[in-house]
Amino acid sequence: MRWQELFYSDIEAYARNPQFNWVYDKLNLVKDQGIVCAPIGVNPNNYPVCIRPIINLFGMSRDAHYIENIDDYEEYITDERPSGQFWMPFVNGNQYTIDLLFKRGKIVFMDVFQCAPSDKIFGLFEYYLHVNDYALPRTIIEFLERKMRKYSGPMNIDVIGDVIVEAHLRWNADSFIWRRRTEFVKMLPLWLDKQKTIPLITENMVYIPCFVDKEADIEACQDTLSQYGDNRFNVYLDEIDGDDFQGYVRLGTFVVSVEDVREIHLIKSKNNWL
């Protein structure tokens, strides 16, 4: 394995892994874990539910919706006439995005961020906190090692409670831990080849994205955000390419320590950023 393979796009990863690209089918991924779910058109028996695309190779929480009750559901399918989507129960619990590394079907490394969902916009997150002491549930380990037999390579999973809600055959390229740990990343293939134990990463890191409505003056907002990076904070600006998250554009991201989180939230509130 070359270290660059960790960060293929989902489209590349799907094409390169025909035996394992079933993980991109979220409907069957969730169903295989014993969760009641179905394609849109089959009505849920209980609410609330989440509606998601069965396969999304472009990311950014496209077409993800929270449905509170049957009236909302019927209004959604009447107005949107959706296809290629499915529903699953709204799962309560802490949410994590986890980068895993497999060697011949066994998990040999992981790195974890806890995700804090926005209380305003479903599908957006307020911040990502690096977690140094997370234990992957045994049910998830057994499920993955049974389903991914003989697989060697990267995987990123989103977990809520003890349910994998989506998976990718690459690592999270948005994770700022890897931008800081380039030497670590480049050593991984050697450690795997030599069958060495890969050291866990411990770091006090939070990254906090900033979103605005896509109708806002994006250039002016980014200019304001960049000025905070001229002082004591690390700020990474996004390339604005027309893509949006549920109608919102990500301007960029603060990468700070836990002690700075409150101040960053005040900055976001002052500027009306989500």
pLDDT digits (tens, 9 = 90+) for 69-94: 999 999 999 998 888 999 999 998 99
Task: Determine the length of the chain.
Answer: 274
- State the average pLDDT over residues 238-264: 89
pLDDT above 80 for 200: yes
Name the pLDDT band for 246 (thresholds 50, 70, 90): confident
The CA distance from 6 to 50, in Å, is 29
Percent of the chain topping pLDDT 90: 83
The per-residue pLDDT for 242 is 66
- State the average pLDDT over residues 56-70: 86
Q: Which amino acid is at 194?
A: K
Range in 17-31, 67-81, 169-183, 240-254 with the lowest mean pLDDT: 240-254
pLDDT above 90 for 196: no
Contact of 240 with 196, CB cutoff 8 Å = no
The per-residue pLDDT for 51 is 96
Name the pLDDT band for 60 (thresholds 50, 70, 90): low
φ and ψ of 47, to 5 deg? -130, 160
φ and ψ of 201, to 5 deg? -100, 125
- State the average pLDDT over residues 172-197: 91
